Chain A
Amino acid sequence: MLHQHLVILPLLIPMLAALLQLLPWGEEPQRYRRAIGIISCVALIGVAITLLIQSQHGPSVYALGSWQAPYGIVLVVDKLSALMVLLTAILALPVLWYACYGEDNLGSHFQALFQFQLLGILGAFLTGDLFNLFVFFEILLISSYALLMHGGGKQKLRATLHYVLLNLTGSAIFLIALGVIYGITGTLNMADLAVKIANLQADDAHIARVGGLLLLIVFALKAALLPLYFWLPQAYAMTTGTVAALFAIMTKVGIYSIIRVFTLIFGEDSGATALLGYDWLWWLGLGTLAIGGIGVIGSRDLRLVIAYLVVISVGTMLTTFSMNSERSITAVMYYMLHSTFITAALFLIVDVVAKQRGKTASRIVKGRKMAQHAILGMMFFAAAIAIIGMPPFSGFIGKLFILEAARTGAQVALLWPLVLGSTFLVMVSLSRAGSRMFWHTFDGKPGDVASPRGQLIAIGLLLLAIVGLTVFAGSISNFISGIAYDVMHPAVYIEAVLGEGYSHE
């Protein structure tokens, strides 16, 4: 019974948790809300692992209300979605734990918004229907609007306003894209679309291309690709550390959507619309890498540096993805796991550092010694080594996969210098920040603001995930290459959703 409904559990758990958290819990509601939140995150990890194991035997399809695809809305769990669900769940637990030490008291309903945010993200990973994807995007957006404002303050207001207005426009474009695609194919089920778009001829195919490129714009806005990344650095740098750490997964929602839609619907086999937008992704991805590198070196605030690191990782992933091979998708997936954990860890570390430094906060200037100087320094340098991509951590392995994925001379000639060049800029910038903030401190007694041990443990958990990625790199990359194979051969996915003999319509 439960086994059959496993697929929808990742959506039900955060939703129920959020609803429970909204109840009035008496004198000290926060204690109960925290407990509910943590239980929900632990349960999510359990469900995600089960889903991942189950997905090894092929995609499972859950028809909501038993209305079969392509008419009803379906949730689909294949290896790719299962891995993304697990990634979200593993990220959410330490971040929420960190938030439970007082950060969630800065504004009302943080706990419930956190769960709603998870609901939106997980829904976007699980859905097999484009319109449903739009709905889950809106769920994650509206909770992210509120979360960005968490804690209040003038600085956040303007960044949030930009973020909200841009995303509202993005939603309108998403709807236009859906309208165009529905008008031409009469379906919004992704698997069904994959079949129908492949059969389009001449004029209809052109209209489908327009729809597809509009979708690319929307996903690129979510992922923060070159001309559409301007909202990201300010928004991520202004908001509280916890929210920024949770948002480490938000750009990945955009990247996931690009991988899903542009391999399944506009992949190699889709006739006149084959490989739509891949050349755009290649050039814009390279541009994003360059801009991110410049942003990293030009920022005078450590939060902003890390926000630009997110931009760089987006550029790296989308450029690699556009090379369109099993090898490149393996590289993207591994790098995605790595960069999600490491950016989240860095945002939390900077949050702690900023609190302990007092007035100088996260600005890259000489400041006083922190109360927990040694441990924070060690964490920062471990994280910095990982994100720069120096051995021994997973960043090195990730970059290696990416460089290896470039096959032709032209790809190597463009990708290698930009990836390595941006890596160099990141290294310079982080070394500068680290030596200013941790080594060149004022003499005298250190600050007296110490962070609770639990917060440090939460950061430690994220770093542990990085170590795990490094130690088990072999088996993880084996598993991921299975995902890459599935992504490049969407027939299995389509067959699972539409049933046997879909092509004989």
Chain B
Amino acid sequence: MEALYSVTVGILTACSIYLILRGRSFPIVIGITMLSYAVNLFLFSTGRLVLNQLPIIGNQAEYTDPLPQALVLTAIVIGFAMTAYSIILAVRVRGELGTDEVNEPNQNDGEAQR
């Protein structure tokens, strides 16, 4: 189980990094979303993977650590809001600037326009 889990997290992270390094905003947003999935899975696993146990500390010798689950929940909620914002922003950029390239094409001096 651990091996499968870690490979999944690893592949998700690798794919997301590839997407984040692209030059257009849409793949980057998708990449960041994917990265947040990978991170959430990773956070979940930091309490160790335990099967069929109660998430209560001190009740029994074996338990599922409840804290990472709470952390993941928080991270999901925050990540959701951030993704929503970044998508809206990317759409606005596409609409107003006419391109979704992250860096201005054919321009090497950021001051030229001002």
Q: Which residues of A contact B (CB under 8 A)?
A: 131, 135, 138, 141-142, 145, 149, 154-155, 157-158, 160-162, 164-165, 168-169, 171-172, 175-176, 178-180, 182-183, 186, 234, 299-301, 304, 361, 363
B85 within 8 Å of A by Cβ?
A: yes
B43 CB contacts on chain A under 8 angstroms: 175, 178-179, 182
Whether the pair B35, A157 counts as a contact (CB closer than 8 A) is no
Contact with B110, one of A164, A171, A234 (Cβ below 8 angstroms): A234
Interface of B is mostly: helix
Total inter-chain residue pairs, C-beta < 8 Å: 91
Give the Cβ gap from B71 to chain A, nearest Cβ, in Å: 6
Whether the pair B36, A172 counts as a contact (CB closer than 8 A) is yes
Q: A154-B96, A165-B25, A172-B36 are in contact. Are A363 and B81 (CB under 8 A)?
A: no
Contact with A175, one of B39, B47, B81 (Cβ below 8 angstroms): B39
Query: How does the 8 Å CB contact mask read for B85-114 relative to A, with 1 for contact and 0 for none?
Result: 110011011001100001010000011011
The contact sample of 16 A-B pairs, CB cut-off 8 A, is: A131-B74, A154-B97, A158-B93, A158-B97, A161-B90, A165-B25, A165-B86, A175-B39, A176-B39, A176-B42, A180-B46, A182-B68, A183-B46, A299-B111, A300-B111, A301-B111
Contact with A172, one of B29, B32, B71, B102 (Cβ below 8 angstroms): B32
Whether the pair A165, B111 counts as a contact (CB closer than 8 A) is no
Q: State the interface size on chain B (CB cutoff 8 A).
A: 40
How far apart are the CA atoms of A182 and B78 in the complex, in Å? 19
Give the Cβ gap from B89 to chain A, nearest Cβ, in Å: 6
**Which of B96, B102, B114 is the most central at the interface, judged by chain A CB atoms within 10 Å of its CB?**
B114
Whether the pair A157, B96 counts as a contact (CB closer than 8 A) is yes
Whether the pair B85, A164 counts as a contact (CB closer than 8 A) is yes
A162 CB contacts on chain B under 8 angstroms: 102
A172 CB contacts on chain B under 8 angstroms: 32, 35-36, 39
B14 within 8 Å of A by Cβ?
A: no
Q: When A and B form their complex, which 8 residue pairs have the shortest distance between CB atoms, in order from nearest?
A: A183-B46, A179-B46, A179-B43, A175-B39, A172-B35, A168-B32, A182-B46, A138-B78
Whether the pair A169, B32 counts as a contact (CB closer than 8 A) is yes
Interface residues of B in 40-93 (CB under 8 A from A): 40, 42-43, 45-48, 65, 67-68, 71, 74-75, 78-79, 81-83, 85-86, 89-90, 92-93
A141 CB contacts on chain B under 8 angstroms: 82
Whether the pair B82, A142 counts as a contact (CB closer than 8 A) is yes
How far apart are the CA atoms of A363 and B111 in the complex, in Å? 10
Chain A residue nearest to B40 (CB atoms) is A175
A304 CB contacts on chain B under 8 angstroms: 111
B83 CB contacts on chain A under 8 angstroms: 168
Whether the pair A179, B39 counts as a contact (CB closer than 8 A) is yes
